[in-house]
């Protein structure tokens, strides 16, 4: 006769009192407000790049020009930032690279495709999860009007 496995309950998260909860919510709102402002600044710079270059170039050209614009705007960023994957406690380098990581808060993924597909959104969401960041921008520079090629994702 087989023995049934007993399931152990996961440890409960610490319950916050009313004051701690309000403080935690305030911190979350402040970070999201900062990300909103940052998203707006990055989008403004991306629209400027698209106005100057138009559609039709390679992704690397738009990334380089957007990096120049971000630097001119005084924003800190890392281009082509490698991110690893933790699997069963082992850190693995799977070749994932974020196009632009801005101010350690915002993941920016650039594309030059006819139209954005669900796989592109899934890629950005994966990068956001792997970096524990809540806000991401997906930009398709192939769009005739950049505004039509932008998706903002929030976890």
> Which residues fall within 8 angstroms of residue 124, CB to CB, at 6 or more apart?
107, 109, 136, 138, 151, 153
Per-residue pLDDT at 95: 82
Task: Identify each DSSP E strand in the chain by its residue range.
Answer: 77-87, 90-102, 106-111, 135-140, 150-154
pLDDT at 11 over 60: no
Question: Quick check: is 13 in a domain?
Answer: no
Range of the domain at 41: 18-154
Residue 5 forms part of a structural domain: no
**What integer pLDDT is reported at residue 37 of this predicted model?**
83
- Whether residue 2 is contained in a domain is answered as no
- pLDDT at res. 57: 95
Q: What average pLDDT does this structure show over 16-41?
A: 69
Report the percentage of the chain scoring pLDDT > 90: 63
What pLDDT does 90 receive?
85
pLDDT at residue 25 tops 90: no
Number of domains present in the structure of the chain? 1
Q: What is the pTM of this model?
A: 0.77
Q: What DSSP letter does each residue of 1-44 carry, written as one string?
A: -PPPPPPPPPPPPPPP-HHHHHHHHHHHHHHHHHHHHHHHHHHH
Contact 96, 129 (CB under 8 A): no
Does 32 reside within a domain? yes
Q: Does some domain include residue 57?
A: yes
Answer whether residue 7 is part of any domain.
Answer: no
pLDDT-derived band at 77, boundaries 50, 70, 90: very high
Is 105 domain-assigned?
A: yes
Residue 38 within a domain: yes
Split at pLDDT 50, 70, 90, the class of 91 is confident
3 state DSSP class of 112: coil
């Amino acid at each position: 006769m087989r023995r049934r496995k007993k399931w152990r309950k996961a440890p409960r998260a610490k319950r916050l009192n009313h004051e701690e909860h309000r403080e935690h919510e305030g911190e979350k709102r402040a970070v999201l407000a900062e990300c909103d402002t940052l998203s707006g600044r990055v989008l403004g710079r991306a629209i400027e790049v698209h106005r100057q270059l138009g559609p039709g170039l390679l992704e690397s050209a738009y990334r380089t020009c957007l990096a120049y614009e971000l630097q001119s705007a005084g924003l800190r960023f890392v281009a082509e930032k490698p991110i690893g994957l933790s699997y069963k406690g082992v850190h693995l380098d799977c070749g994932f690279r974020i196009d632009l990581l801005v101010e350690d808060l915002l993941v920016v993924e650039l594309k030059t495709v006819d139209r954005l597909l669900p796989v592109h959104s899934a890629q950005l969401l994966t990068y956001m999860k792997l970096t524990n960041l809540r806000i991401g921008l997906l930009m398709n520079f192939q769009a005739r009007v950049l505004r039509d090629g932008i998706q903002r994702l929030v976890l």
